[in-house]
């Protein structure tokens, strides 16, 4: 079976660019590789579900029309924990990058990287093998990344993401969406006081002084 890549981004030019370079690179190595494209997380989840056996790598943009912050990655990992997901972001934010890695992303690639470097990373994942069989899933070390991307291996807020409980992660996503404590309390079926406690704990874990600072840092 030929290997495949799923590119999830709401910009047509980026999807087309990655697809064209992947196809060209595959042709030179004698590999057969398909590229699926999605412009939002809902379509991406449906495409992956229908082609799970073939897709060896998911390139997932964080800024999609139906996601906020890391919600798209969190949903993808929840539905398909075995998927190898590489996050794409227009913001070279170390805190956001560590959050993505803590949620199980194989790597965090800033969109400022050259598309050829991105395809070079895909090659490092083993998806251009002539037999079309992707390598076993693994989290690649920083040394496997192009030099311009290798600085994303370690970040100051690693422990904060790892210490969040599932409920705190959910509250954090709602905070990043701009919801007030009262709204979050209604959505989560919690008291407003409990939500305030969760928000205070999240601020403490990330070393932030205010809700506004937290939002500006993580979004």
Q: What is the pTM of this model?
A: 0.61
Q: Which long-range contacts (CB under 8 A, 24 or more apart) does 103-106 make?
A: 103/70, 103/73, 103/74, 103/77, 103/161, 104/73, 104/77, 105/60, 105/73, 106/137, 106/138, 106/139, 106/140
Rounded to whole angstroms, how far apart are CA atoms 58 and 161? 22
pLDDT of 39 reads 95
Residues 82 and 35 in one domain: yes
Q: Which residues have C-beta within 8 Å of that of residue 55, sequence separation ≥ 6?
A: 3, 4, 5, 6, 36, 48, 83
Count of CB atoms within 10 A of residue 131's CB?
11
Rounded to whole angstroms, how far apart are CA atoms 124 and 119? 9
Rounded to whole angstroms, how far apart are CA atoms 197 and 168? 10
In a domain, 158, yes or no: no
Distance of CA 32 to the CA centre of its chain: 25
Residues 73 and 140 in one domain: yes
pLDDT of 127 reads 64
pLDDT of 121 reads 66
Residues 138 and 53 in one domain: yes
Domain-terminating residue out of 152, 184, 208? 152
Rounded to whole angstroms, how far apart are CA atoms 165 and 62? 21
* Residue that has been written with the tokens 């060209």 in this structure: 24
Positions in the chain short of pLDDT 70: 1-2, 29, 92, 113-162, 218-219
CATH number at residue 182: 1.10.10.10
pLDDT of 109 reads 79
What is the count of structural domains for the chain?
A: 2
pLDDT of 147 reads 38
In a domain, 159, yes or no: no
Residues 95 and 170 in one domain: no
Residues 26 and 128 in one domain: yes
Torsion of CA 86, 87, 90, 94, to 10 degrees: -110
Rounded to whole angstroms, how far apart are CA atoms 136 and 53? 13
Q: Which residues constitute the domain of residue 135?
A: 3-152
Residues 76 and 108 in one domain: yes
pLDDT of 155 reads 40
85: which strand partners?
A: 58
pLDDT of 160 reads 66
Pairing of strands 3-8, 85-89: unpaired
Express each pLDDT in 15-29 by its tens digit: 888 888 877 777 776
Residues 47 and 67 in one domain: yes
In a domain, 157, yes or no: no
Domain-terminating residue out of 119, 152, 185? 152
Q: What is the DSSP letter of 48?
A: H
Residues 9 and 104 in one domain: yes
pLDDT of 132 reads 42
Residues 134 and 96 in one domain: yes
pLDDT of 64 reads 92
And the tokens for 102? 């803590």
Residues 79 and 174 in one domain: no
In a domain, 89, yes or no: yes
In a domain, 176, yes or no: yes
Backbone angles phi, psi at 50, to 5 degrees: -80, -20
In a domain, 44, yes or no: yes
pLDDT of 133 reads 45
Domain-terminating residue out of 152, 178, 203? 152
Express each pLDDT in 172-214 by its tens digit: 888 888 899 999 999 889 999 999 998 998 888 777 888 888 8
End-to-end Cα separation, the chain, in angstroms: 38
CATH number at residue 126: 3.40.50.2300
Residues 60 and 135 in one domain: yes
Residues 135 and 106 in one domain: yes
And the tokens for 66? 């139906």
């Amino acid at each position: 079976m030929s290997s495949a890549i799923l590119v999830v981004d709401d910009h047509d030019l980026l999807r087309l660019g990655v697809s064209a370079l992947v196809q060209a690179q595959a042709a030179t190595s004698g590999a057969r590789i398909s590229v699926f494209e999605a412009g939002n997380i809902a379509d991406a989840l449906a495409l992956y579900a229908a082609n799970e056996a073939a897709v060896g790598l998911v390139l997932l943009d964080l800024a999609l029309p139906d996601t906020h912050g890391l919600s798209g990655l969190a949903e993808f990992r929840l539905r398909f924990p075995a998927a190898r997901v590489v996050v794409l972001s227009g913001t070279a934010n170390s805190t956001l990058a560590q959050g993505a890695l803590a949620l199980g992303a194989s790597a965090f690639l800033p969109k400022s990287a050259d598309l050829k470097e991105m395809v070079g990373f895909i090659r490092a994942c083993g998806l251009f093998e002539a037999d079309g069989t992707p390598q076993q899933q693994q989290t690649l070390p920083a040394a496997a990344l192009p030099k311009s991307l290798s600085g994303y291996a370690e970040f100051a807020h690693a422990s904060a993401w790892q210490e969040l409980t599932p409920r705190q992660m959910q509250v954090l996503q709602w905070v990043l969406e701009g919801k007030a404590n009262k709204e979050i309390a209604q959505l989560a079926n919690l008291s407003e006081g409990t939500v305030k406690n969760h928000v205070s704990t999240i601020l403490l874990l990330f070393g932030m002084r205010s809700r506004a600072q937290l939002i500006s840092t993580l979004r």
